[in-house]
Each structure stands twice: as C-alpha cells, then as structure tokens.
Amino acid sequence: MNTTTPGTYVLVHGTWHTGAELEAAASHLRAVGHTVHCPTLAGNRPGDDRACTGLEDAAQSLKTYIEEHNLNQVRLVGHSDGGMVISRVADLLPQRIARLVYVNAFVPQPGERLNDLVPPHYVALFNSIATQTGGGVMLPFPVWREALINDADLALATRAFEQLNVHPYKTFQDQIVLSQPMAAMAVPKSYVNCRMDTALPHSLGWHPRLSERLGLFRYAECSGNHEVWFTDPEAIAAAIERAGRD
C-alpha cells in the first residue's frame, strides 16, 4: 500500500453487513497510519426493527456517529447501498467531510430510491422476500454467492454468508432527500470500481453508469467482486487509500 498523509476514514457498510465485516480492510489502513471507524448503521444492529427502519434513519445514525466522535476532515467511504447513506450525510454535514469515496456504490439523484437503480427482477425478488420476513430482506445463498462473491471458493463464501444479517427493506424503498444532484455538491468525490463485480448486470454497471453522476471525480480500481471485503481486504484498502488521498 502506498502511504499518504494520515487521514480519518469512516467506512460505511452496505446491505446485510455491519461495521464488523469492514474491519479487515480497516486494519490495513490503520497499519499505515490512518484513523478508521467502522460504524454499524441503524437497521443492522441487533434488535433493530427491520420493518420500520428507513433510509433517513440509517443516514441520521451515521450523522450522529460522526458528531458524537467529533470527526472532521472525514474521508467518508460508502459500499453498495452505503452510497445512498453517504450521499445524504454529505448534505447534512458538508463541513465535516473531506471527500466522499464510493466503492461499487449507488449514486442517487434527488428523490430516487435504491430500487430505482437495480434491475426489475431484483425488485421482484426483494418484494417477495420482504413479504415473507415481515419487512427484512436477505438474498438466498446461491444468488448471493454467484452475484456478489463470485470469485470465492465455497468454503469462504459460506463463512462470509454466515456473518450477514437481514437488512431493512424500507431503506431500498425510501426516496432520498438531497438538496442538489451529487455532481453539483462541492465536496470532492472518488469512485472505486471492483472489476470482477457482477452484482448488477454489466449493462447496468457500477461504473460508469453510476460514477458519472458524481460530475468531477477521482477514479480508482482493483480486482475483486462485490464482497471484496471478505476475499481481498488488503486490495480494497489500498484502492480506498488511493481514492482518498489528499
């Protein structure tokens, strides 16, 4: 990993994760001098109500975390639907953010839902699962393995899947509140693309379909799938550092 001036990173997990699953990558960033936080968002904590927790609740929990820890000049890193959350928090706390870093993450326009940005067959699957689970959503293992952790062997994929938790579906259905498109926000932005990520069809790819919504942005990439946090935490940490440098 190429070392840069030490900074403060907040790694924001995506669907089905908590902050714990990002700790392996965080350890590589800490090893070269960065301060790294891995909070768990509202809706993914033990005992959280998966039926009622929405996107704004998740964003407000991250805002509260940053304020309570008095974090400034933050490199705010969002993975997958964590991109929805960091976009909202950039609108809420622009004075505390040094750079937004999207890691194969959704980049919304004002008023969009995550469900607006995924293929219809995913929405149909999510709707069916949420109906059965009372408002939570979890991908079946065969779908998750092939689409999200496609370069892992069965043993690693199984261990990783066992660490996941049911996600509040309301966060996918809620419209995001943004004062302006992300391209118009003055905060610096970066996009990290994991080249082997097949979580979305390549015709609806993460980059450039979503990254170009940032306007002016820094691009970084690494090999790896959507769940690179499990398969190659050192590689994703290095890419995040390149994306977040001064």
Burial category of 70 from C-beta neighbours within 10 Å (exposed 0-12, middle 13-18, buried 19 and up): exposed
The pLDDT of residue 2: 56
pTM above 0.85, yes or no: yes
The pLDDT of residue 148: 97
Q: What is the CA radius of gyration of the chain?
A: 16
- Residues 117-145 have pLDDT tens digits of 999 999 999 999 999 988 999 999 999 99
Is 80 considered catalytic here? Answer: yes
Which of 61, 80, 190, 211 is an active site residue? 80
Residue found under tokens 């909202």: 88
Residue found under tokens 């690693």: 156
The pLDDT of residue 246: 85
pLDDT band at 115 (very low <50, low <70, confident <90, very high): very high
- Residues 180-224 have pLDDT tens digits of 999 999 999 999 999 999 999 999 999 999 999 999 999 999 999
Average pLDDT of the chain to the nearest whole number: 97
Residue 3 has pLDDT above 70, yes or no: no
Of 28-32, 49-53, 130-134, 188-192, the poorest mean pLDDT is in 130-134
DSSP 176-211: P--SS-GGG--S-EEEEEETT--SS-GGG-STTTTG
* Domains, in order of start, for the chain: 8-244 (3.40.50.1820)
Alpha helices in 93-191 (DSSP H): 120-133, 141-148, 154-161, 170-173
